[in-house]
Amino acid sequence: MKKFRLGLVQMQSSRNKDVNLATSLNYIKTAAKKGADLICFPEFQMAYSPVTQEPKELFYLAEDTKGTFISTLKKSAKENNISIVATIYERVDSSKQSFRVSDTATFISSDGKIKSVYRKIHLYDALGFKESIKLIRGNNIEKPVTTSFGNFGLMICYDVRFPEMSRILTLMGAAILIMPSAWVSGVMKEEHWQIMTKSRAIENGVFIVAPNQIGNIYSGRSTVIDPFGAAMIDM
């Protein structure tokens, strides 16, 4: 693994995906101008979905990976020569029976190609939240993405509470775990976030890259943790 420059985005997504896409493009251009090789966005980059939003509304906001949101980011990756980890609500159930969507992370290479698509496995059905009302659970841990900077494994937010997943990704060859997140604020929540991101790094001897949402109901505290558990970035 060789050294590379990372852009870590801590953003407050609005309910308007066009606004969030425009904001994302600005972040990409800025990161590229500063020499970043990779930029990582948080979970729910596409849009903030409040608890009161009906599944049907989110379903019609969602896109597949060939939609405008990802297609635009792919074009920007190529134009700016930068790899991107982006997140979307992915429409995977065309039957419309449940109107649920996938919480999906994608790894886009600097030549504008999708190298990995990971659909969140562990939905946040805890502490008064029930993501499964709107979201479909993924069922595959994706093979790490091989790059000249190292092997990257993809996780999303609540996955961090299940240490088996980070161990599996490490055994599959990942040296860096990228974990787009939207960590909810609350009593002891930030402490849990810090403890678990550091634990996953230490127990596996890997780097953790965890961009987070801020504002709305989210805590921020985006972070990068080294294999010894030290915070290289703590926003």
Q: Of all residues in the chain, what percent carry a pLDDT higher than 70?
A: 98
In a domain, residue 130? The reply is yes
Give the pLDDT score at 76: 98
Q: Is the pLDDT of residue 137 over 80?
A: yes
Q: Is the pLDDT of residue 77 over 90?
A: yes
In a domain, residue 113? The reply is yes
In a domain, residue 1? The reply is no
In a domain, residue 112? The reply is yes
Q: Which domain CATH number covers 195? A: 3.60.110.10
Q: Sort strands 218-219 and 114-119 into parallel, antiparallel or unpaired.
A: unpaired
In a domain, residue 166? The reply is yes
* Dihedral sign (CA 86, 185, 167, 39): positive
In a domain, residue 191? The reply is yes
Q: Which residue has the tokens 């698509």?
A: 117
What does the alpha-carbon distance between residue 199 and residue 52 come to, in Å, rounded to a whole number? 34
Give the pLDDT score at 94: 64
The pLDDT-based confidence of 155 (bands split at 50, 70, 90) is very high
Q: Is the pLDDT of residue 96 over 80?
A: no
* pLDDT, average across residues 7-20: 98
* pLDDT, average across residues 127-143: 95
Give the list of residues 6+ apart from residue 133 with CB closer than 8 angstroms, or none: 55, 100
**Are 107 and 141 a contacting pair, CB within 8 Å?**
no
Give the pLDDT score at 98: 82
DSSP state of 37: S
CB atoms within 10 A of CB 223: 24
Beta-bridge partner residues of 86? 106
Q: Is the pLDDT of residue 95 over 70?
A: no
Q: Domain tally for the chain?
A: 1
Domain containing 36 equals: 6-234
* Tokens linked to 230: 């030290």
Specify the higher pLDDT residue, 140 or 3. 140
**Are 215 and 44 a contacting pair, CB within 8 Å?**
no
Q: What is the mean pLDDT of the chain?
A: 96
What does the alpha-carbon distance between residue 36 and residue 77 come to, in Å, rounded to a whole number? 11
